[in-house]
Amino acid sequence: MKSANIILVGDGAIGSSYAFNCLTTGVGKSIGIIDVNRERVQGDVEDLVDALPYVAQKNIYAANYEDCRYADIVVITAGVAQKPGETRLQLLQKNAAIIKSVVANIMKNGFDGIILVASNPVDILTELTLRLSGLPKNRVLGSGTALDSARLRSEIGRRYNVDVRAVHGYIMGEHGDSEFPVWDFTTIGGQPIREFVPAARQDADFAAIGERVKTAAYSIIQKKGATFYGIAASLTRLTQAVLNDDHAAFAMSVHLDGEYGLHDVSIGVPVLLGANGLDRILELDLNPDDLRRLQDSAQILQDNLQQVLD
């Protein structure tokens, strides 16, 4: 059983929302927060401590990288935020430089746990973190398409008036413009969605749902400047799965070593997540079109990764 010590690197909108969500849901026994803006961190710590009488007790503190040696999981949300109209890939150069510094500071302090990356572009930065950290691939994970898959479930539930908890399905590929829903493995109450939705409506409905999910972040950023509640909830649930050894299924960005015919890339695929991080990759029997979409998405990521490696 893990001691449930969390270190959060990055105290912006996503990071602070994640810390608050962990507090209110009882995830973790200890949360240390690291950010270049130490005053903001101290303010957040004081604000979070005020909530302790109403929630599960935990130690919340302004951390240093030296504290990483005691962490079970380090969650990285640090980086430049996506602006209206900007793609995640356009953040790459700036955030790669930040990640290189963050990972170096984490690893030089004896860290031996699991790293969960949420900074964008998350797939490329997850692969970069894996290569820089020297940790085994099961212990370097990206939030990947976990949020996108939640958006898929929410949109299906809204469209067909069903409880989203009865909807199961995955978005695979890049957490970005080349992502795609896997309709062959999407169910409502256990029934394949292709049986639930009348055949005459499927093409139009599925295209509309996929587009809405893919562009959700652009819509939110245009309206309120940033997305943070959805990703914070996703990160909290992923953290819980690790700390509780849940062996729960999510679509996450993980390093592939032959799965789906892909190598040397981190990309969103279904996995089981537990105390050791990646428990196993769930290799779905994709139809030829979906397999091509996944491979095309992987090529985009590999081409962009090469830019920061060079």
Residues involved in catalysis: 175
Spatial distance between the Cα atoms of 27 and 75, rounded to a whole number of angstroms? 13
Spatial distance between the Cα atoms of 89 and 82, rounded to a whole number of angstroms? 10
Cα 169–138–308 angle (5° rounding)? 90
Distances (CA, A) of 143 to 40, 54, 266: 25, 29, 11
Neighbours of 300 (CB within 10 A): 20
Q: What amino acid is encoded at 265 in this protein?
A: V
155 and 277 Cβ atoms separated by less than 8 Å: no
* Helices within 215-271 (DSSP H only): 216-224, 229-243
Under the phi-then-psi rule, with left for phi > 0, alpha for psi from -120 to 50, and beta for the rest, what region is 110? Answer: left
**Of 76, 12, 27, 52, nearest to 225 (Cα)?**
12
Angle formed by the axes of helices 92-107 and 288-309, nearest 10°:
70
Helix (H) or strand (E) holding 116: strand 114-117
Distances (CA, A) of 170 to 28, 179, 213, 248, 309: 27, 10, 11, 14, 30
Q: Going by C-beta distance under 8 Å and a sequence separation of 6 or more, which residues neighbour residue 38?
A: 62
